[in-house]
Structure formats: structure tokens, C-alpha cells
Amino acid sequence: MNQITRVITIFLLSMSIAQANNFVFSPINVLQGLSDNQIRYILQLPDGRMVFKTSGNINIYDGARFKYIHQTSQHIYPLKGYDGFYRIYQSGDSLLWIKDTHKLMCVDLRTEKYVSRLDSYFRKKGFKQPVEDLFMDSNQRLWLLTSGRLSQYNSSDFLNIAANHGKLQDLTSQNNNLYLFYNTGEIVCYDLKTKRKLYSNAAYPPQQQMFFKNTSLVVKGNNGFYQLRNGSKGGFFFFDTRKRIWKKILKTDYTLNTLIVNSNDTAYISCTNGIWIINCRNGEKQYLPTLQKIDGSILDTEISTLFYDKQNGLWLGTINQGLLYYHPFRYKFTNIGRSYFHESSTKDIIVQAFAEDQAENIYVKSQSAIYRYSSVKGNKILTALSPSSVPKEVLKKLNQNHTASLTDVRHWKWTGTQDGLKLFDPDKKEEKIFYTKDGLSNNFVHAILEDRNNNIWVTTSYGITKLQIDSTTRKVHLTSFSSDEGTLEGEYTNGAAFEATDGTLYFGGINGFSILNPGNMAEQKLPFRPVFTNLFLRGERIEAGNKYDGRIIMPETAPYTKDIELFYDQNFLTFEFSAVNYKNPSQTYYRYQLEGIDNNWRETSIGRQNENTDIDGILKTSYTNLPPGEYKLRVMASGNNRQWNGPVSELHITIHAPWWKTTVAYILFTSLFIIMLSTGIYLYIYYNRKKLERSHKEDILLVRIRNLIEQCDFLQAENETYLAKTNVHAAQSEDTHNENRADTAFLARALEQVEKNLDVPDYSVEKLSRDLCMDRTGLYRKLIALLDKSPSLFIRNIRLQRAAGLILEGELSITEITEKVGFSSSSYLSKCFQEMYGCRPSEYPEKMKKST
């Protein structure tokens, strides 16, 4: 009996493993940055980011990195009416309402912080009574339960539901009806326009209420609502809103944790061991008590929650082992790892070659054995064979010597080396070497294969690279695949590459081999626009709400930021974007353009060789020393089909000019320049006018001196005549007369000496003082006292007066007059003449005519 039980157990386990092989999950846990491995709820935000509620805190995941939002006791609001487990609702575009048993929290995603003191928050919204429970319907309307009254958040609408029996556990909506679900199993329908109760219906009789009374989870379907209920048993029900009837789909003796239903009415239910997959249209059920991970290991744990994202990926949250992610098209390659070979030896298994018999059976050769590979209903099987049981033609193929070289249909010769892939084009006589910087997955090449579509496949020490050659331009496009797409994590072996009759490709390596069905290469359009995740200023990550150089750069978190304003010296920037491509992050391509700097789009792909991106699908682009101005950063993302037909993310950036380069500063500078120019012109005119006035005064003074001399001579003659007749001499005036006569005589002698040497250019003050028998200082003081004029100016003015007289006579040219009056050049004469008379020498006669 025990033997029979053991056989049945092994059979059921093998069947479950075979079924689980259809689902190969990638683990995401604390090693990848998750805060802790106890997953309680999963939600996807409208921008594509994932929210994971763990026992510790909130995790926000952009496909590469986790951000944590921490809570304290002041963030918890008592919710006495809720007895269930974790539920998260998103209201608006930024608030997350988190329910747990008798607890309510709220997170504002714009600040990535919990909202403190929800009691005050609700009072401000008009809820005076304590909130007992909180719900969200299918139209994203929030409803709050207070003392038998169900009120719509941010609205005056409410329903009085005190008369209903039982405890309200959930609600949802359809059209203009609101459906309430009670712990009695009853559904109550209300018309929201009339506030009238339309009908009620129970999912099961009263005697079964104990089975399902504890918790409820409702999901909207195509023609009604699916409900997951738990009590002493677990139940899965469907309510048809057209027929107003219930249908029981599943009943278990254990708890059913979480429910999701896709558009095809396929339900996924997590439970204490594994998951249920139910086709609700035909009733077909599949139970997976264990799950398989990418490395081939089996996971046997409680699945606490699950979620079906908008990229058709399935997320499972476990009770203690983190997250599991599955996408039917994520793993383009099937990984046949060491566990499939069933070898007891701990030595590495080296897959050396592949072959195919006439029946299209695949044979695999390692260094120690030969296997036949088969796949039955998703179950991969390697069967060890003795050499005698292997067909001879297969043995011959397996024992052939394979090298990493190939001549393709274009007659191009490809050669794999330990440092790059060589390509020789005999037509152009050109050789090129491809490295990781060109897109090769690794520089050590082990095998080369050309498939039936003339694509070149290359295995390396890390990953596989596909080379596509454009038939028109002959340009080579490289696409690399890593373990994220199902390739081996170790290196591949030399020459182990094979294409089967049906087009399937096989690549051998260390401790396993990879299989590729070309049909798995189809790419889907990415559903989301790239999400702005981080901004770095001079290498420092900018935090929302913090000040940098006295300015808050991002009042809100990066995904909610559309405009950024910066000072002129805050111009060394790095931007991070995520395509939220969970299916194939390493197969993400970006194109971006900073309008105002980039004339064209820049295109980049994910890979270790690219400094702008990393292997997790994040774009990181930097711009340094940006000048002040308005900019717009535009970013697009695509899969490896590189079709740029998806949505564009835009970020507006303003870098303000320094104050001295602003419009106001330019106006001030212009005004100051105009003022200075006007002042300069005014001063120039003013001093020129003063100079002319001084010159005229000097001319008048000289005329007066001549008149004075003539008058003195005349008076002296008259006085002598008078004295001769009268013989009378006035003794009292003799001293004054002698003094005036001495001054007059001095000026006459000075004037005589200058005029006598008028044609001598170098007749200077020193010569004049010598001719007058005076020292230079005494001459200077004498002329200043008598004429208020220096000796040099006295000499120059006499020369200019003589020149003016000669000009009026009109007998000599300006050059001759220059020599006549002792000036060194005509230009100097013209300059001095204009300073004294206010006009050029040639204009002087005309000026004198006008003055007379």
C-alpha cells in the first residue's frame, strides 16, 4: 500500500512539474533590491511602474530599481470595519489608499511620502464621524463608510445602507448601478441616480455562510463580477448582472488569497500552495502546486498575491521568497540546464555537438555521453543513450570537427576569435572586427551559424548575438541576448551551433544548451511612454521638495515632473528614463533629443558597451555646460524591432540667464550707455565752447595790449608837449606813470622779440627769456601777472594772429604762411588755429566777412 501511495505521489508531482514547465518564472527578491521577501499586494500605476506592498514597506519598481516609502505609527488610521487583508486603491493619479486588517494608510506618490494624520484629513473633507471602511468602485470612485452611510469621496452623493443585513465587505459598479457585497454572501444593487435599492441576491444559502464569511475580493468581468470568498473554506463565484444569478466555479478546503481575471475570462487564483488557472468560459481548471524558476529549480511555497500587468506579464508575490515574474514571450531561448542531464558527477558538462536523424530526433553530445532530446507537452526530456543505439549517420555528424568560422551566402567570411568577430568582404577587400562596443554580447566568440533566413548567429563567453544584414545597404545590425532572454549564464562551447530541419536553433555550452524557435522572435509594442525616474545635478541625485542652491528644482517626484527651472550655473545635468519593459529589459532601445541642442534624434540600446544605458533597461543621458535658454527633452522607447511608433515623453527645461544677461539688465546697460554718451557729448560741447570763449578773450586781450601801448605812447608824447609848454610836472603821479610805462615797455619789448623771430620755428620760451634778460620763471610770473597767459601761449597766439592777418591778405598759401609764422607743420597750424578761432584756416576769411 505504501509503495502504491509513493508511486501515486511521484506521478502527481511529475505531472505538476510538467504543467509548471509551461510557466517559467524569474525571481525578483532582496538580491535585486526588494526591501523584503514577504509580498502582500501588487498594483500597477498608470505610467507602468509597479507597486509592491511588503510586510516592511511600499516598494515602487521601474523595471530596474526599487524606491522605498517608509511608514510610522502616525501614518496609520484605525479602520474598525475592515477585517480582510491588504488591499490598495489608487484615486486620482497620485494617491494610494492601503487597507489592512483594521488599518488604513495613504501615500502621496507626488512626494512619495505617507499622508500624516488621516483623521484631520477626513475632517477637512467633511467626514465628522470616524471612517469605518473605504472602497473603490470600477469607475475609480472612492466610497467611505460611516455609521451606516456610504458617501462618495469629494462628492455630496451618499447611500443610506443601514437597513441592509450583514457586514459590507466590498463594492463595485457597472453603468449607473452600484453593487454592494456583504459577508452573508448577498449582493445588493443600487441605482445611483435615484438612490433606490433595485434588488439583492445571495451566492449561497444561509447554512453555508460560515464557509465564506470572512473575506471578499471582487473583480469585474465581461458580463458580471467574479468574487473570491474565504472562511473555513475558499470559494470562487461569478455573478451574471444580466441574468442576476450566481454561479459557483471553485470550492476548496484552503484559503484562496488573490484573484485576477484577464480579458479572455481566464482567472488566476493564488493560494497556500501554488496557483489555480481557470478558463471561466469552458470551466477548464489547471492547478499548479509547484512553480519552476528559470534555473530549472522548483518553487514550493505559498503565493500570497498575484497581478496581471498591461504588458501581459504575470507577477506572483510569495509569502517569503519575494516576487516571481512570467511572460509567455520573455524567454526567447529555452534553457536546458545541468539538472536535465541527470549526471551524478560534479564535473562540468560540456555540450560539444548536435545532430538530427531522418525522423527529426535531436541528439546532443557531451564530453561523456550522448543524449536524445525530446519535448512532450512542454516537458523537456534528455535520455542518455549508449553509442550502439545511436544511428551511424548521427554519430558521424556528432564526431565532426566544428570550428568558429563560416562563409555565408554573400561570400562573406566570418571568423570567431578570442577578441572579437572578424568579417572579410572579398568584393570590397575590406576587413572589419566587431566588439562589444559594436553590440557583440562578448568578445570571445565560440561558434558561428547561418540560419535559413541568412541571419548570422554567434555564441560567446556570455550570451548570443544575432547579426542581420540589410539586403540593400549591406549594413550589419547586431542584437545581443543574455540570460534575461533564456541564454546560458555560463559560456558556450566551440563550434556547438546547429539548425534543425524545422528551423529550431541549438547552441551548446557549459552545463547546458539553449534552444531557439524563430517564432519566438516576434516583438510587441511597448505599452507605456518612457518614465522620467531621476535627475542628477553635477552628479547629485535631486530629491523632490529639497532646495539646491536656494531653489526647489523638483517640487514633485520625477515621474510627475513636466517642467524644470534651473539657475544659469545649474547646467550639468543627467536624466534617467525607464521604458518599464519588464518582459525584456535588455532588449530595450531608446531614442532621445534635446531640442535646442540636438539637431537629430540620438539612438541607443541597452548593453554593457553603451555608456548611456545599463543592462536593466534604464536610459541615462547627460548634458554638460548647457547655455541659458528653453529646452525640451523628448524620449521614445522600442523593443528590438526598433519601430519608433510609440508615445513620446517630454520634459521642459528652463535654464535662467544670470542677472547680467537678462532683458532688464540689457535695458539698464543700454540706458546707462545712452546716459554716458549724452554726458560725454555735452561735456565735449561745453569744454569746446569754453575753449573758444577763452581764445576770443585772449584775442581781445592782445588787442587791448596793443591799444594800451599805442595810448601810452600817445599820452607820453602829449605829456611831454604839455610839460614843455607849461614847465609843470606833477610829482605825485611820477611813480605810477613810471610803473605803467615800465610794464608797457616790457610788453612792447616782448612783442618785438617774438615778431622779430616769428619765422623761426624753434623760437622758444627760453630764447625769449634770454632776449629779455630774464630767467624763465620771472618771465612766466610777469606774463601771468600782466596777461594771465603763459609764455608759450603768448608766443603761439602772436604767431596765430600774424597767420590770421596773412590769411586775410590772401597772397600766400597755407604752407607758406606756416613757414612764415614759425609753425612746424600745416596740420599743427590748422589744429591750433581751430582752437583759437573756432574754424579752419581756409574758413577764416568767410567767417570774418559774415562777422562784418
* pLDDT tens column, 473-519: 888 988 888 887 888 988 999 999 999 999 999 999 999 999 998 77
Of 57, 76, 75, 77, give the one whose Cα is nearest residue 67: 57
> Which of the four pLDDT bands, split at 50, 70 and 90, describes residue 21?
very low
- The one-letter amino acid code at 431 reads E
Instruction: Work out the angle between the directed axes of helices 663-726 and 734-756 (0-180°, nearest 10).
Output: 120
Question: Sheet holding 256-261: strands in order across?
Answer: 256-261, 266-271, 275-279, 285-288
The residue length of the chain stands at 852
Of 390-399, 724-733, 735-744, 775-784, where does mean pLDDT reach its minimum? 724-733
Mean pLDDT of the region 704-729: 60
What are the residues whose beta carbons fall under 8 Å from the beta carbon of 569, sequence distance 6 or more?
549, 658
Asked if 638 contacts 644 with a C-beta cutoff of 8 angstroms, the reply is yes
Q: What is residue 7's predicted lDDT score, i.e. its pLDDT?
A: 34
Of residues 152 and 21, more confidence is placed in: 152
Q: What is residue 728's predicted lDDT score, i.e. its pLDDT?
A: 41
pLDDT averaged over every residue in the chain = 86
Of 436, 529, 441, give the one whose Cα is nearest residue 485: 441
Mean pLDDT of the region 583-590: 84
**Exposed, middle or buried by CB within 10 Å (0-12, 13-18, 19+), for 46?**
exposed
Above 80 in pLDDT, residue 732?
no
What are the residues whose beta carbons fall under 8 Å from the beta carbon of 157, sequence distance 6 or more?
151, 192
Measured distance CA(241)–CA(188) in Å, rounded: 11
pTM score, whole prediction: 0.71
Q: What is residue 822's predicted lDDT score, i.e. its pLDDT?
A: 84
Of residues 296 and 825, more confidence is placed in: 825
Give residue-wise pLDDT tens across range 182-203. 999 999 999 999 999 999 999 9
Of 120-134, 662-676, 787-801, where does mean pLDDT reach its minimum? 787-801
Mean pLDDT of the region 565-578: 94
Of residues 749 and 70, more confidence is placed in: 70
What are the residues whose beta carbons fall under 8 Å from the beta carbon of 41, sequence distance 6 or more?
51, 52, 53, 86, 87, 88, 98, 305, 317
Of 374, 577, 581, give the one whose Cα is nearest residue 484: 581
Q: What is residue 639's predicted lDDT score, i.e. its pLDDT?
A: 81
The grid coordinates of residue 219 equal 473583480
Asked if 85 contacts 215 with a C-beta cutoff of 8 angstroms, the reply is yes
Measured distance CA(241)–CA(667) in Å, rounded: 72
Q: What is residue 718's predicted lDDT score, i.e. its pLDDT?
A: 56
Please report, rounded to a whole number, the percentage of residues in the chain having pLDDT higher than 70: 90
> Which of the four pLDDT bands, split at 50, 70 and 90, describes residue 14?
very low
Above 50 in pLDDT, residue 306?
yes
> Which of the four pLDDT bands, split at 50, 70 and 90, describes residue 846?
confident
Q: What is residue 673's predicted lDDT score, i.e. its pLDDT?
A: 93
Measured distance CA(333)–CA(482) in Å, rounded: 10
Of 47-51, 233-237, 682-686, 704-708, where does mean pLDDT reach its minimum? 704-708
Mean pLDDT of the region 391-409: 89
Q: What 3-state DSSP class applies to 562?
A: coil
> Which of the four pLDDT bands, split at 50, 70 and 90, describes residue 605?
low
Buried b (16+ CB within 10 A) or exposed e, 127-146: beeebbbbbbbbeebbbbbb
Q: What is residue 800's predicted lDDT score, i.e. its pLDDT?
A: 83
